[in-house]
Structure 1
């Protein structure tokens, strides 16, 4: 299963790069498991045709930065550390309604600055931007539109989060990266499961059943309340627009 999965994704990466006439890919490497898996798969597919960007700002965990640098070195991937703290601070000064307490809006701004940096490298080096989103987060709309959602293709977009973790173990991703508490790292104390309101293990079990089972059946099988399952179903419906092109009148 592992071999088949890796072979399929590696083939997909090569096809996307070839179709675009690109020289390779650029990946945002955060120090988390998703970006580590994508970087490893791109390295397998393209060899030297991979650039990793590590993009911290003042609130970024230094442990994450160190882990990302160490992983890039281990993979022998060319990498750049681009600290965009000054850029973000200029936005803060320029936006008249900026509010330090608006965590979501400010976090989305950071994600969109990172997207701009990725695409600058992509344009200059004739690369594609390889996204790091997984199926769980795509279905739940747990990403920033035109931020980490602004990419050219999604190598692990068909894998649920728990499947990404399994794949990471098979690929030999460092244990400390795999076992980190998932977080977009957009503000201090942020955790993915805290914002989603459910741990990934339970969430993925719901998502695997959502098209074929009723809320009551899923709740009983997975061990969540019916209200929680209903909330997940509602969120999927509400967030569907984030994966679609803007509608034309």
Structure 2
């Protein structure tokens, strides 16, 4: 199936998800990255009432501008809400005295960012009877590269069955700006952070291994394969349904 056909099928699927929920639209967080750009454009094609929320928390000005450029190019209604002061106040309230430079590797504090964004997305979703669109791809979901109850907090995942490398193909088909396609993927958890540096493997390598594991292929570089297997195993708790004690 061509990527144009996949895009058309996703649009139809989103439309059905919204209709079945009795919702009146979709809200999606727009970070200025490729995943949120593709997701927001697909949502807009599916549902006229699509709201993009640009929620910087000490984010790069360039990322905010990129998110705005996508919203304006594809005529997506958007709001820019800076959550930096709320992040600061929350850190102070829980006893964290940190600056942006202290966040590198500090996952407990860094993960407050996507969780604050999730709260904001759901405020607007509840207010407008909208659904929240997730922006995670299959690669991230497989290795747990997302924040539990943060960017994973969503009502549906349009890209959840597409590897990161496939998202690039979708982006080109949708005519997402080249600047966004070419920029290094980043979760924006701290200044200078990039996905591939943090994960320790390129998306091209990761996707090749994940695809091979899914289709039971043989590998020559077993060291990297074992590393990816360990990432998948360690993050299993993020993907499974919430364990619930059962009465006898």
Q: Which runs of 4+ in 1 moved over 6 A?
A: none
Determine the C-alpha separation between the residues in 2 that align with 1:233 and 1:98. 36
The within-5 A match list for 1:1-249 is 1-47=2-48, 49-58=49-58, 60-96=59-95, 100-101=102-103, 103-213=106-216, 217-218=218-219, 220=220, 225-249=221-245
Determine the C-alpha separation between the residues in 1 that align with 2:81 and 2:108. 22
Q: Deviations for 1:34-79, whole angstroms, at most 9, x for unmatched residues?
A: 00000110111112x1000000022x01000011111111111110
Determine the C-alpha separation between the residues in 2 that align with 1:137 and 1:32. 14
- Relative to structure 2, which stretch is displaced further, 102-111 or 66-75? 102-111
**TM-score under structure 1 normalisation?**
0.93
Determine the C-alpha separation between the residues in 2 that align with 1:13 and 1:211. 26
Deviation at 1:213, TM superposition (A): 3.2
Deviation at 1:6, TM superposition (A): 1.3
Determine the C-alpha separation between the residues in 2 that align with 1:193 and 1:70. 25
Deviation at 1:211, TM superposition (A): 3.2
SS in 1 for 2:78: strand
Deviation at 1:97, TM superposition (A): 5.1
Any conservation in 1 of the 2:114–2:151 contact (CA below 8 Å)? yes
**TM-score under structure 2 normalisation?**
0.93
Q: Deviations for 1:141-177, whole angstroms, at most 9, x for unmatched residues?
A: 0000000000000001110000000110011000000
CA RMSD after TM alignment: 1.3
SS in 1 for 2:235: helix
Deviation at 1:103, TM superposition (A): 2.3
Deviation at 1:11, TM superposition (A): 1.2
Q: Unaligned stretches of 5+ in structure 1?
A: none
Q: Unaligned stretches of 5+ in structure 2?
A: none
Determine the C-alpha separation between the residues in 1 that align with 2:84 and 2:34. 24
Paired residues in the alignment total: 240
Determine the C-alpha separation between the residues in 1 that align with 2:92 and 2:199. 31
Deviation at 1:188, TM superposition (A): 0.5
